[in-house]
Amino acid sequence: VSKHTPHDNICASVQWVPGRSSEIVSGGMDCKIHHRDVYKHRPLRTLTERMQQQGVHIINPPFVNSVSTRLGSRYMVAGYGSGSVKVWRLGSKKVGYVPFKSLARHNAGAGCVCLVDGTTVVSGGNDGFIHISDLEGGHSNGSSDITSDEDADIEDTATFKLLHGHKINWLSGFRDSSSVVLYVCDESNVVTKYSVR
């Protein structure tokens, strides 16, 4: 057994770095993402979210609730307790992950993020919303169709939003030939399937 203790508080999420079999990224309640080489037992980089501004009290600290990577993608996505969803791009071996862009915020913590393919990010929030974003372009011009076991309210913006209606505990997804397919777990005993074209 080999143990790594890079975080100052609870480690909430960990993922392998695609294409680099000795590297992991982990996010925690210390508001940090650590990029480490697990075989050499050394840190490569620490990514931090600015915790507070002088004289400002933080209600939802930017705890790192979830990180996601995917084989074949150069991106890493992180969901924060502040509602932020940040994207990092994998650079050279020496540089590691560098900031790429911020996506639409949730009104409460972003509890789960998922790269469903190389460029499509899905985030689920404590606000009951699911956000779907294309990292290399905008969503289609309002022509998307959604099928689900439940009704969904849709807001047509660069980040496509679905109102699931319950706090999202976890989600997973993939892209088939015509749509993004999502499986969503919330605070109930139901797993909901969405197909977004």
- Give pLDDT tens digits along the chain (197 positions): 667 677 878 788 888 888 888 888 888 888 888 888 888 888 888 888 765 555 556 666 788 888 998 887 888 899 998 888 999 888 877 777 888 888 888 888 898 999 988 888 999 999 999 999 888 765 433 334 333 333 333 333 357 888 898 999 999 989 888 888 999 999 989 899 998 88
Partners of residue 67 on adjacent β-strands = 78
Per this entry, what is the length of the chain? Answer: 197
Partners of residue 172 on adjacent β-strands = 183
Residue 43 neighbours by CB under 8 Å, 6+ apart: 6, 34, 35, 36, 37
Cβ pair 128, 163 in contact under 8 A:
yes
The model's pTM: 0.79
126-132-133-139 Cα dihedral, nearest 10 degrees: -140
Burial class (CB in 10 A: 0-12, 13-18, 19+), 102: exposed
